[in-house]
Amino acid sequence: MATNSWWIHQVILTLLFLSWRDYVHCSGLTVDPPEDLVILDPGHLGELDITWKPPASLISVTECSTLYQLEYFNTYRNDWTAIRTSRRSYTAQFDLMKDIRVRVYTLLSGPCTNGSMIKSTNYIELVQKPPSTGIVDTAVQDFVCLFHNMDYMECNWGRSSKMPANSQHTLYIWHKELSEAVECPKYIISGGVRSGCNFTGNILPDFIDIIFCVNGSSDEGPLKPTFTSLQIQNQVKPGTTEKLHLQTGPDRQLEIQWEHPVGRIPGLCLEWEVEHNEEGPDGKITSKQFFTKQTSLTLPSIHDKWRNCFRVRSKVNKYCAAKGFWSEWSRPACHTGNEVTAEAEWDMVPAYLYITTAILAILVLSLCVWAMLKVRGSRQDKKPDSLLTSLFARNSVLTVADA
Ligand SMILES: *[C@@H]1O[C@H](CO)[C@@H](O)[C@H](O)[C@H]1NC(C)=O
Ligand SMILES: *[C@@H]1O[C@H](CO)[C@@H](O)[C@H](O)[C@H]1NC(C)=O
Ligand SMILES: *[C@@H]1O[C@H](CO)[C@@H](O)[C@H](O)[C@H]1NC(C)=O
């Protein structure tokens, strides 16, 4: 709305300026708006050809050059766009589900106007309502395309709750390098219905508008189409960071290092968010975020005794694309300070104790068994073996006696 009023303001100013110039030149010369404004749809998902003819009154004027000022409501940007051209046609992209509004003025300049430019006070206008095709409330919702790690593009949509029986969606795309709209190469099926499209391997061109149309059919007739325009470099979602290293430096510094996701995204195009979760002795977790363009971060001084966990995610920065999507978070990497490490050493002591106890227990058990056998054996045949056996024998007798 603000841009609209700004635009209207500009138009008024321009008109006042032109009137003033007309007044100064006292020319009284006027020019008519163009004629026969026509909009043609070549089937390029909303790329329309606009044509017009010069006003009949201008045919006789030869010593002056004619320009046209075309203004149209850009349905994707929600704003008016104005261009000047000497040609009698122009091609622009529209969302076919919205009103199409086009206006054309005639501009005249040269010796016939004493060098100044005159614009026709009126314009020729064409307003075209969207075709009322499609059952109401059947348009897809939340259409979103992600260019996964610049590897493959995936678009997904949600179904309206009012879908008639046997509805089937179809997706078509068009861009300037295609002679006609093409259908999705591979649909993504979920719950038995089409919920998206996977452009596997088909690399779509970047830095040009790509138009997506999701339409469809059902038992009750065609579904309401949806149009979206985007450029793929703005849809990149980088891969998840796999390698994250933590390293302690001097003075309780902690250095976090990670690697770029493997793929086609240039490293310089990424920015990073690092999340630091610090768990104090009371179990309370404090969370902090850091943003960086580097693939490492040094924290000056951490509480050695606390548990420090980190995870990172990345996004294409503003120098490489107008927008982007955050990657998934990496798996967290944790660092636990001195006391916890000491605790681990302390853990070793009971381990030795356990092993010693176990060995002793086995020994005692074997002695018991041996003693029992010996007692039974001694009843038949008394045969002491050696000093060692007799020593064990005495012990075992004691043990047996104790037990
Ligand atoms: C152009 O200027 C001349 C002299 O300055 C004047 O006589 C003539 O009427 C002007 N013509 C137009 C079309 O303004
Ligand atoms: C889309 O295609 C890519 C590349 O072939 C594949 O890795 C990915 O899993 C596919 N996605 C779905 C949802 O099938
Ligand atoms: C969907 O759009 C495409 C491209 O404009 C068209 O060829 C196709 O017939 C449409 N399908 C339906 C069911 O309307």
Q: Is residue 88 lining ligand 1, measured as CB closer than 6 Å?
A: no
Per mean pLDDT, which range of 29-43, 52-66, 142-156, 274-288 is the poorest? 52-66
Q: Scan for tokens 């020994």, then name that residue.
A: 363
* Mutate-to-test residue for ligand 1 from 18, 22, 23, 25, highest number of ligand atoms within 8 A of CB: 25
pLDDT digits (tens, 9 = 90+) for 310-360: 999 999 999 999 999 999 999 999 988 653 332 333 334 444 455 566 667
User: Each residue of 172-195: pLDDT tens digit?
Assistant: 999 999 999 999 999 999 999 999
Name every residue whose Cβ is closer than 8 Å to that of residue 15 and which is 6 or more positions away in sequence. 121
First to last CA, the chain: 96
pLDDT of 8 > 60? The answer is no
Atom number in ligand 3 closest to CA 134: 14
pLDDT digits (tens, 9 = 90+) for 205-215: 999 999 999 99
For 90-118, how does the pLDDT look when each residue is reduced to its tens digit (9 = 90+)? 999 999 999 999 999 999 988 888 888 88
User: Cα(271) to centroid of ligand 2, in Å?
Assistant: 25
Comparing 399 with 219, which gets the higher pLDDT? 219
Relative to the alpha carbon of 116, which ligand is closest?
A: 1
Inter-residue contact 221 to 176 (CB < 8 Å): no
Residue 155 has pLDDT above 70, yes or no: yes
Q: Indicate the top mutation candidate among 145, 146, 154 to test ligand 2's pocket, ranked by most ligand atoms within 8 A of CB.
A: 154
Distance 181 CA to ligand 3 centre (A): 9
- Starting at the edge strand found earlier in the chain, the sheet holding 89-93 runs 35-40, 47-53, 89-93
